[in-house]
Amino acid sequence: MSWVLVGGLGYERELWERLEKPSFKVVGTAYLLATESFSPAPWAEVAFAEYLTHNYAGLVAESEGILHLSQSLFSCYLAMDLALAYHNPAWIFLPGKPWRLFFLSEKEGGCLGCVEPYHSPPPALVWERFSLDWFDTLAAHWKTPPHQSTLWEGKKTYPLEKNPHCPLHRKEQPYLSGKEQLVVAVSCGENSVAITPSFEKKIDLSVYQEMIRPFVRIRKTNPFFLEIEYERFLCLVFRQGRFIVKGTKEKNTALFLYRQLVGV
Ligand SMILES: [Zn+2]
Task: Express each pLDDT in 177-207 by its tens digit.
Answer: 999 999 999 999 899 999 999 998 999 999 9
User: Can you tell me whether residue 108 is helix, strand or coil?
Assistant: strand
Q: According to DSSP H, which parts of 3-98 are helical?
A: 12-18, 57-61, 73-85
Residue 176 lies in a domain: no
The alpha carbon of 75 and the centre of ligand 1 are apart by a number of angstroms equal to 15
The alpha carbon of 78 and the centre of ligand 1 are apart by a number of angstroms equal to 12
Give me the number of domains the chain comprises. Answer: 2
Residues 194 and 160 in one domain: no
What is the pLDDT, as a whole number, of residue 155? 87
Confidence of residue 85 (pLDDT cuts 50, 70, 90): very high
Structural domain boundaries, residue 222: 182-262
Confidence of residue 172 (pLDDT cuts 50, 70, 90): confident
Contacts of 4 (CB under 8 A, 6+ apart): 24, 25, 26, 27, 56, 59, 60, 63, 65, 66, 67
The alpha carbon of 116 and the centre of ligand 1 are apart by a number of angstroms equal to 9
Domain boundary among 169, 199, 220: 169
Confidence of residue 35 (pLDDT cuts 50, 70, 90): very high
CA-CA-CA-CA torsion sign (127, 129, 131, 135): positive
The alpha carbon of 167 and the centre of ligand 1 are apart by a number of angstroms equal to 7
Residues found in the chain:
264
Mean confidence (pLDDT) of the chain = 95
The alpha carbon of 187 and the centre of ligand 1 are apart by a number of angstroms equal to 37
